[in-house]
Amino acid sequence: MVELVPPFLVYFLGAALLPLVPGAALRSALSLLVPVIGGWLIWTMPTGTHDVVTLMGVDLTLIRNDRLAAIFALVFSFAAFVSLVYAWHVRDRVQLVATLLYSGSAIGAVFAGDLITLFLFWEGTAIASVFLIWARGTEGAYHTGLRYLVIQVASGVILLSGAALFWRETGSLAFDQMTLGSPATWLIFIAFGIKCAFPLLHSWLPDAYPSATVTGSVVLSIFTTKLAVYALARGFAGTELLIWIGVVMALFPVIWGLIENDLRRVLAYSLIGQLGFLVVGIGIGGELAINGVAAHAVSSILYKSLLFMAVGAVLFRTGTARASDLGGLVRSMPLTALFCLVGSATIAAVPLFASFATKSMILSAAGYKGYEGAWLALVAAAGATVVYTGVKVPYCAFFGADSGRRPAEAPWNMLLAMGLGSAACIGIGVFPGAFFALLPYPMEYDVYTVAHVITQLQLVAFAVLAFVLARRFGYLPTETRSVVLDSDWLYRRVLARVIGGLAQGMSIAWAGGVRFQEAWLNRVILRLYRSHGPASRMAQSWPTGAMVQWVAILLAVMLFVTFLA
């Protein structure tokens, strides 16, 4: 029975009641109470399973609280709070309700103790979040939202079929560690994989996130993928396949991230890259790696939402997030630029920022467990991330060639939200010990060793160097200055050309693939329309003679079959 108030209920109640509140400011203010109450409930919640309700003869465990669930739920609450502050100025009730339902569902899913509860909240996140895309109100956003919804709901349906099979196989619906092997676990794995943007299943993410509203993409960047990370960490920790999936995820967005012009899209690709790190960590398994996953998930929520908030503020003030249209905004938006730099420093894992402490745990785990290949790939990916997100985003938006735009500084609520995010990023970076106490497993892990600090600074420094060079060679959208090359660098130019050509080739192939897919889909639909549309034989009114003919045929078949026996 229900003995504790489940935290998601606070959000759902908020979503139901807040739209009735008159006055936008009051509504925004009251909405802030929701994550606070929810967070307090999570903080004080005893561990163990609670609130088992029986539905259709199936026991649903609404709350299964352990340290892994708690840390995700807590960071979700914090991020929900920050994004509500960020959205203070939004007068749209639909977005408010969607945000609350979406965060509530994500938190509900984190505490789900069985696969059915997980499925319900899983679909909840899908359905609530699509309104954040639709709220933009454009034709493009409508179609993007539909595509997003179809994929997200499909993920839920696959999860449900996996759950049904799992029940048949094992007689249990408990959501615990699973091993890949049976169709059931594969289906569940794929369902998680869709939400986690596994390679080839990822296309919804860069499609949808940049299409949402300014505040919507901040909210979107927080929950869906991290929920999938949590689900994978809970269900498939130590599945070696995940290491290689994660490596691919960490590496392949690099090219798109480098050539993409829309900064929100750059952030979407780098989000996939960061998920790659988490997925590798899950694949490695073991206490250190899972701690690393939980910790890095927290910091990646923080810096990713921080970066989305900064770019969102730019979009809010200038109406564009294209790198080629921006530049030099630091002159009029200094605070936003500062917060963006904090986010960049965090994603780049500069010492004293959150990622420095968290990312290294995953890397160390890879090293200790002897996955040198994965370790090497991750270090390379980390370097590339510094280039295409850590430096490119703030450079293109706030520094670089002056675009002549002088927008006003972001509104106070956005600044406050970004300030909160920045404070958290720095807080974790400076006092990692206090943060580590919240992690799923107790551990002794020293972050600030000399070797580690120097390695990381080197990595960052060289990545920044690479960016500067790449800019000079003209492989970034904001190429302005002429370049003088030393012969030393020639081979690098060749290499850059090769990479550029490769990227171009890939994007052509990709576009071709999409076109082919669309043409094929159109053909299929057209053929179906010819055979099943209103004018087809299938849908026409038949003369009775033809109907009777069917009767005769069917009778003959049935007589034949019955006599056969």
Applying CB under 8 A, the residues found at the interface with other proteins are 55-56, 119-120, 123, 142, 153, 157, 160-161, 164-165, 168, 183, 528-529, 531-534, 536, 538-539, 541-542, 544, 546-548, 550-551, 554-555, 557-559, 561-565
Minimum CB separation of residue 157 from other proteins in Å reads 7
Whether 152 and 204 have beta carbons less than 8 Å apart is answered as yes
- Beta carbon nearer to other proteins, 92 or 325: 92
CA atoms of 180 and 51, how far apart (whole Å): 29
Half-sphere exposure in the Cβ direction for 447 (13 Å, CA): 25
What is the CB neighbour count within 10 angstroms for residue 521?
10
Minimum CB separation of residue 391 from other proteins in Å reads 42
- Beta carbon nearer to other proteins, 483 or 552: 552
- Beta carbon nearer to other proteins, 287 or 518: 518
Residue 170 Cα to chain centre, angstroms: 31
- Beta carbon nearer to other proteins, 47 or 170: 170
Minimum CB separation of residue 227 from other proteins in Å reads 18
CA atoms of 98 and 365, how far apart (whole Å): 38
- Beta carbon nearer to other proteins, 173 or 391: 173
Minimum CB separation of residue 559 from other proteins in Å reads 5
CA atoms of 328 and 315, how far apart (whole Å): 14
Q: What angle, 0 to 180 degrees and rounded to 10, lies between the N-to-C axes of helices 24-44 and 67-86?
A: 170
CA atoms of 347 and 274, how far apart (whole Å): 9
For every residue of 31-96, DSSP letters joined together read: HHHHHHHHHHHHHHPPSEEEEEEEETTEEEEEEEE-HHHHHHHHHHHHHHHHHHHHTTT---HHHH
Minimum CB separation of residue 553 from other proteins in Å reads 8
Burial class (CB in 10 A: 0-12, 13-18, 19+), 46: exposed
Minimum CB separation of residue 457 from other proteins in Å reads 52
- Beta carbon nearer to other proteins, 451 or 564: 564
CA atoms of 282 and 229, how far apart (whole Å): 8
Minimum CB separation of residue 103 from other proteins in Å reads 20
- Beta carbon nearer to other proteins, 146 or 494: 146
Whose CA is closest to 327, among 265, 406, 273, 271? 406
Minimum CB separation of residue 561 from other proteins in Å reads 5
CA atoms of 245 and 232, how far apart (whole Å): 12
- Beta carbon nearer to other proteins, 187 or 229: 187
Minimum CB separation of residue 166 from other proteins in Å reads 11
Whether 99 and 34 have beta carbons less than 8 Å apart is answered as no
- Beta carbon nearer to other proteins, 509 or 555: 555
Q: Which residues pair with 64 in a beta bridge?
A: 49
CA atoms of 248 and 210, how far apart (whole Å): 22
Copy the structure tokens of residue 63: 């709350």
What is the CB neighbour count within 10 angstroms for residue 468?
13
Pairing between strand 58-65 and 48-55? antiparallel
- Beta carbon nearer to other proteins, 408 or 561: 561
- Beta carbon nearer to other proteins, 204 or 388: 204
Residue 325, amino acid: D
Minimum CB separation of residue 290 from other proteins in Å reads 31
Minimum CB separation of residue 229 from other proteins in Å reads 24
CA atoms of 276 and 270, how far apart (whole Å): 10
Q: In the chain, what is the straight-line distance between the N-terminal and C-terminal CA atoms, in Å?
A: 54
